[in-house]
Amino acid sequence: MTDDFFADFGETLHQAAKEFTAKTDNFFEGQKMRNKISGEQRQIDQCLKDVGNIIYEKFVEGEPLHEDVAVLCEEITEHKMAIAKMRENMARKRGEKVCAACGAALPKEARFCLQCGAECEDEPEEEVVEDPEPAPEEKDDPFAEKEQQEDAEQEKDPQDL
Ligand SMILES: [Zn+2]
């Protein structure tokens, strides 16, 4: 008997809600669910990232890993090195240097990193200077272009008018 009562009561409520908010409710309900789903997805992504970081740390520490995982870790290291190199180049152009430990840009005269506190040795000046002179043969041949232009002009030139 009580079961019936609650069933009826529930049905009445259900019906009322249906009539009340049929259109907008669907919209907001859908929006809410989408937000919840993307919230869950963000949690998953963060966990995956954390898992990746933990595994990558193990790779850096030299722990033997499954081959597929090791290949990906090597790829991460390559990208990190590429970033470090670009940061260093940018800093050098600004007359700064880069902390070897954390990658922060520092004034050239800094002895310790302002970001992580690591000791920063002065870069040997010679390394910066030794830039190989570009071979003159490698430069674009201005004559080749000129000849082509002259050829084109000759073609355009109406000799027999
Ligand atoms: Zn640092």
99 Cα–ligand 1 center, Å: 5
For the record, the structure tokens of 108 come out as 């050239």
**pLDDT reported for residue 158:** 53
The vertex-131 CA angle with 127 and 136, nearest 5°, equals 170
Segment-wise mean pLDDT, segments of 10 residues, the chain, 161 residues:
74 79 82 96 98 97 96 97 91 87 85 90 52 54 52 52 52
| SS3 per residue for 73-114 | HHHHHHHHHHHHHHHHHHHHHCCEEECCCCCCEEECCCCECC
Residues 44, 48, 116, 111, CA torsion sign: negative
52 Cα–ligand 1 center, Å: 23
**pLDDT reported for residue 149:** 52
**pLDDT reported for residue 53:** 97
**pLDDT reported for residue 38:** 97
**Which residues, at least 6 apart from 116, have a Cβ–Cβ distance to it below 8 Å?**
99, 101, 102, 104
For the record, the structure tokens of 36 come out as 């919840």
20 Cα–ligand 1 center, Å: 61
The vertex-118 CA angle with 112 and 123, nearest 5°, equals 60
76 Cα–ligand 1 center, Å: 20
Neighbours of ion ligand 1 (CB under 5 A): 99, 101-102, 104, 113, 115-116, 118
106 Cα–ligand 1 center, Å: 9
Q: How far apart are CA 77 and CA 91, in angstroms?
A: 21
139 Cα–ligand 1 center, Å: 40
